[in-house]
Protein backbone atom coordinates (compact mmCIF):
# COMPACT_ATOMS: atom_id res chain seq x y z
CA UNK A 1 0.00 0.00 0.00
CA UNK A 2 1.36 3.46 -0.85
CA UNK A 3 1.91 5.80 2.09
CA UNK A 4 -0.20 8.89 1.49
CA UNK A 5 0.14 12.01 3.63
CA UNK A 6 -1.66 14.61 1.56
CA UNK A 7 -4.14 15.11 -1.22
CA UNK A 8 -4.02 18.07 -3.62
CA UNK A 9 -7.26 18.97 -5.34
CA UNK A 10 -7.57 20.90 -8.56
CA UNK A 11 -10.44 23.41 -8.35
CA UNK A 12 -12.27 24.01 -11.64
CA UNK A 13 -13.83 20.77 -12.82
CA UNK A 14 -12.97 18.77 -9.69
CA UNK A 15 -14.40 20.64 -6.70
CA UNK A 16 -16.88 22.75 -8.64
CA UNK A 17 -18.15 22.86 -12.21
CA UNK A 18 -16.83 26.35 -12.96
CA UNK A 19 -15.11 24.83 -16.02
CA UNK A 20 -18.34 25.52 -17.94
CA UNK A 21 -18.13 29.20 -16.94
CA UNK A 22 -14.55 29.44 -18.22
CA UNK A 23 -15.75 27.81 -21.46
CA UNK A 24 -18.69 30.21 -21.89
CA UNK A 25 -16.50 33.23 -21.14
CA UNK A 26 -13.74 32.27 -23.61
CA UNK A 27 -16.33 31.37 -26.22
CA UNK A 28 -17.97 34.77 -25.91
CA UNK A 29 -14.60 36.53 -26.25
CA UNK A 30 -13.49 34.36 -29.19
CA UNK A 31 -16.82 35.00 -30.85
CA UNK A 32 -16.29 38.74 -30.58
CA UNK A 33 -12.85 38.34 -32.17
CA UNK A 34 -14.30 36.20 -34.96
CA UNK A 35 -12.26 33.15 -33.91
CA UNK A 36 -14.01 29.76 -33.75
CA UNK A 37 -13.79 28.18 -30.29
CA UNK A 38 -14.90 24.58 -29.86
CA UNK A 39 -15.31 22.18 -26.94
CA UNK A 40 -12.03 20.55 -28.06
CA UNK A 41 -10.28 23.92 -27.78
CA UNK A 42 -11.78 24.32 -24.33
CA UNK A 43 -10.61 20.88 -23.22
CA UNK A 44 -7.07 21.85 -24.20
CA UNK A 45 -7.34 25.02 -22.12
CA UNK A 46 -8.55 23.33 -18.93
CA UNK A 47 -5.98 24.00 -16.21
CA UNK A 48 -4.14 26.46 -18.47
CA UNK A 49 -3.59 30.00 -17.15
CA UNK A 50 -5.61 33.00 -18.33
CA UNK A 51 -2.73 34.50 -20.31
CA UNK A 52 -1.72 31.21 -21.96
CA UNK A 53 -5.39 30.56 -22.84
CA UNK A 54 -5.66 33.93 -24.57
CA UNK A 55 -2.42 33.31 -26.48
CA UNK A 56 -3.80 29.96 -27.67
CA UNK A 57 -6.99 31.59 -28.97
CA UNK A 58 -5.12 34.45 -30.69
CA UNK A 59 -2.75 31.97 -32.32
CA UNK A 60 -5.70 29.95 -33.57
CA UNK A 61 -7.15 33.11 -35.17
CA UNK A 62 -3.73 34.29 -36.49
CA UNK A 63 -4.26 37.50 -34.55
CA UNK A 64 -1.30 39.53 -33.28
CA UNK A 65 -2.21 42.14 -30.65
CA UNK A 66 -0.26 44.52 -28.43
CA UNK A 67 0.01 43.80 -24.72
CA UNK A 68 -2.42 46.56 -23.66
CA UNK A 69 -5.16 45.07 -25.87
CA UNK A 70 -4.40 41.58 -24.55
CA UNK A 71 -4.75 42.87 -21.00
CA UNK A 72 -8.12 44.41 -21.85
CA UNK A 73 -9.30 41.14 -23.39
CA UNK A 74 -8.25 39.15 -20.32
CA UNK A 75 -10.09 41.61 -18.09
CA UNK A 76 -13.17 41.27 -20.26
CA UNK A 77 -13.04 37.47 -20.14
CA UNK A 78 -12.62 37.56 -16.38
CA UNK A 79 -15.57 39.95 -15.97
CA UNK A 80 -17.79 37.50 -17.89
CA UNK A 81 -16.46 34.61 -15.78
CA UNK A 82 -17.07 36.52 -12.54
CA UNK A 83 -20.64 37.38 -13.45
CA UNK A 84 -21.34 33.74 -14.39
CA UNK A 85 -19.79 32.54 -11.12
CA UNK A 86 -21.41 35.16 -8.92
CA UNK A 87 -24.16 32.89 -7.60
CA UNK A 88 -21.80 30.03 -6.75
CA UNK A 89 -22.81 28.60 -3.37
CA UNK A 90 -22.06 25.50 -1.23
CA UNK A 91 -24.73 23.55 -3.18
CA UNK A 92 -22.49 23.80 -6.25
CA UNK A 93 -19.76 21.69 -4.65
CA UNK A 94 -19.50 18.56 -6.78
CA UNK A 95 -20.92 15.30 -5.49
CA UNK A 96 -18.56 13.30 -3.30
CA UNK A 97 -16.14 16.15 -2.53
CA UNK A 98 -17.27 16.98 1.00
CA UNK A 99 -17.47 13.35 2.14
CA UNK A 100 -14.06 12.59 0.59
CA UNK A 101 -12.55 15.61 2.34
CA UNK A 102 -14.12 14.52 5.64
CA UNK A 103 -12.60 11.09 5.22
CA UNK A 104 -9.17 12.44 4.29
CA UNK A 105 -9.15 14.67 7.36
CA UNK A 106 -10.28 11.79 9.60
CA UNK A 107 -7.43 9.68 8.20
CA UNK A 108 -4.99 12.44 9.16
CA UNK A 109 -4.18 13.59 5.62
CA UNK A 110 -3.54 17.22 4.75
CA UNK A 111 -5.67 18.77 2.04
CA UNK A 112 -4.15 21.19 -0.47
CA UNK A 113 -5.35 23.14 -3.48
CA UNK A 114 -3.39 23.28 -6.74
CA UNK A 115 -5.28 25.51 -9.14
CA UNK A 116 -4.22 27.70 -12.07
CA UNK A 117 -7.05 30.11 -11.31
CA UNK A 118 -6.51 33.55 -9.84
CA UNK A 119 -10.13 33.37 -8.66
CA UNK A 120 -9.62 30.21 -6.59
CA UNK A 121 -9.89 31.79 -3.12
CA UNK A 122 -13.00 33.71 -4.08
CA UNK A 123 -14.68 30.52 -5.37
CA UNK A 124 -13.64 28.47 -2.31
CA UNK A 125 -15.04 31.20 -0.08
CA UNK A 126 -18.38 31.05 -1.90
CA UNK A 127 -18.35 27.25 -1.49
CA UNK A 128 -17.50 27.69 2.23
CA UNK A 129 -14.58 25.29 1.87
CA UNK A 130 -11.64 27.57 2.71
CA UNK A 131 -11.13 26.18 6.23
CA UNK A 132 -10.65 22.63 4.92
CA UNK A 133 -7.35 23.46 3.21
CA UNK A 134 -4.01 23.44 4.95
CA UNK A 135 -2.43 24.94 1.80
CA UNK A 136 -3.77 26.87 -1.17
CA UNK A 137 -1.59 27.45 -4.22
CA UNK A 138 -3.33 29.19 -7.11
CA UNK A 139 -2.74 31.30 -10.21
CA UNK A 140 -1.47 34.16 -8.05
CA UNK A 141 1.38 32.09 -6.60
CA UNK A 142 2.90 30.45 -9.66
CA UNK A 143 5.00 31.55 -12.62
CA UNK A 144 4.48 28.48 -14.81
CA UNK A 145 1.09 27.13 -15.73
CA UNK A 146 0.09 23.42 -15.93
CA UNK A 147 1.47 21.16 -17.56
CA UNK A 148 4.43 22.49 -15.56
CA UNK A 149 4.38 20.82 -12.09
CA UNK A 150 5.12 24.07 -10.20
CA UNK A 151 1.65 24.47 -8.69
CA UNK A 152 1.63 20.96 -7.19
CA UNK A 153 5.29 21.06 -6.15
CA UNK A 154 4.69 24.31 -4.29
CA UNK A 155 1.63 22.89 -2.52
CA UNK A 156 3.52 19.73 -1.48
CA UNK A 157 6.46 21.78 -0.25
CA UNK A 158 4.19 24.00 1.86
CA UNK A 159 2.57 20.91 3.38
CA UNK A 160 5.98 19.39 4.12
CA UNK A 161 5.40 16.25 2.03
CA UNK A 162 7.20 14.78 -0.96
CA UNK A 163 5.32 14.07 -4.23
CA UNK A 164 5.40 10.27 -3.74
CA UNK A 165 3.36 10.76 -0.53
CA UNK A 166 0.81 12.88 -2.29
CA UNK A 167 -2.27 12.29 -4.46
CA UNK A 168 -3.32 14.87 -7.07
CA UNK A 169 -6.93 14.89 -8.28
CA UNK A 170 -7.35 16.52 -11.71
CA UNK A 171 -9.93 16.93 -14.49
CA UNK A 172 -7.55 18.36 -17.11
CA UNK A 173 -5.01 16.61 -19.31
CA UNK A 174 -2.59 19.51 -18.67
CA UNK A 175 -3.05 18.93 -14.93
CA UNK A 176 -2.47 15.18 -15.21
CA UNK A 177 0.76 15.80 -17.16
CA UNK A 178 1.83 18.36 -14.54
CA UNK A 179 1.29 15.93 -11.67
CA UNK A 180 2.98 13.06 -13.50
CA UNK A 181 6.07 15.08 -14.32
CA UNK A 182 6.25 16.16 -10.66
CA UNK A 183 6.22 12.53 -9.49
CA UNK A 184 2.76 12.57 -7.83
CA UNK A 185 0.11 9.81 -7.73
CA UNK A 186 -2.61 11.04 -10.09
CA UNK A 187 -6.35 10.50 -10.18
CA UNK A 188 -8.01 11.73 -13.40
CA UNK A 189 -11.70 12.64 -13.11
CA UNK A 190 -13.89 12.85 -16.21
CA UNK A 191 -14.00 11.66 -19.80
CA UNK A 192 -11.31 11.59 -22.45
CA UNK A 193 -8.32 11.72 -20.12
CA UNK A 194 -5.24 9.55 -20.37
CA UNK A 195 -2.12 8.53 -18.43
CA UNK A 196 -3.49 9.06 -14.88
CA UNK A 197 -2.77 6.22 -12.43
CA UNK A 198 -6.50 5.91 -11.73
CA UNK A 199 -9.37 7.13 -13.91
CA UNK A 200 -12.82 7.88 -12.48
CA UNK A 201 -15.96 9.30 -14.12
CA UNK A 202 -16.64 11.38 -11.02
CA UNK A 203 -16.02 11.31 -7.28
CA UNK A 204 -19.56 10.37 -6.28
CA UNK A 205 -19.37 7.75 -3.50
CA UNK A 206 -15.60 7.43 -3.87
CA UNK A 207 -13.78 6.91 -0.57
CA UNK A 208 -10.12 7.38 0.34
CA UNK A 209 -9.59 3.62 0.76
CA UNK A 210 -10.85 2.95 -2.76
CA UNK A 211 -8.43 5.53 -4.17
CA UNK A 212 -5.50 4.30 -2.11
CA UNK A 213 -6.07 0.63 -2.99
CA UNK A 214 -6.43 1.34 -6.70
CA UNK A 215 -3.44 3.65 -6.83
CA UNK A 216 -1.34 1.01 -5.14
CA UNK A 217 -1.86 -1.22 -8.16
CA UNK A 218 0.21 1.04 -10.44
User: Which residue ranges make up the site for Mg ion (CB under 5 A)?
Assistant: 10, 12-13, 47, 171-172
Distance CA 67, CA 159 (A): 36
55: helix, strand or coil? helix
Residue selected from 6, 7, 8, 45 as contacting ligand B16 according to rule CB under 6 A: 45
Residue selected from 4, 6, 7, 12 as contacting ligand B16 according to rule CB under 6 A: 12
Number of residues that bind ligand B16 (CB under 6 A): 21
Q: Is residue 112 a contact point for ligand B16 (CB under 6 A)?
A: no
Q: Is 17 one of the annotated active-site residues of the chain?
A: no
Q: How many CB atoms are located within 10 Å of the residue 21 CB?
A: 21
Distance CA 115, CA 97 (A): 16
Residue 116 binds which entry of ligand B16, Mg ion, none, CB below 5-8 Å type-dependent: ligand B16
Touching ligand B16, residues 178-217 (CB under 6 A): none
In the Cβ-directed half-sphere of 79, how many Cα atoms lie within 13 Å? Answer: 7
User: Among 78, 10, 76, 77, which Cα is nearest to 46's?
Assistant: 10
CB of 19 to ligand B16, least distance (A): 6
Q: What is the DSSP letter of 120?
A: H
Q: Is 95 one of the annotated active-site residues of the chain?
A: no
**Positions marked active-site:** 10, 12
Which residues of this chain interact with ligand B16, rule CB under 6 A?
10-13, 19, 22, 45-50, 53, 78, 115-119, 139, 172
Amino acid sequence: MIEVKACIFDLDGVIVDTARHHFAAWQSLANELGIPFTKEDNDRLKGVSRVDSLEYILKKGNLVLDSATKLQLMEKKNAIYLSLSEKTSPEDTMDGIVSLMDELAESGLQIGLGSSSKNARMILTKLELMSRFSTIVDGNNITLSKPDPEVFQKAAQLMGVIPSQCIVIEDAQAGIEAALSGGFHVVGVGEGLKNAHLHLNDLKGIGFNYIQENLSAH
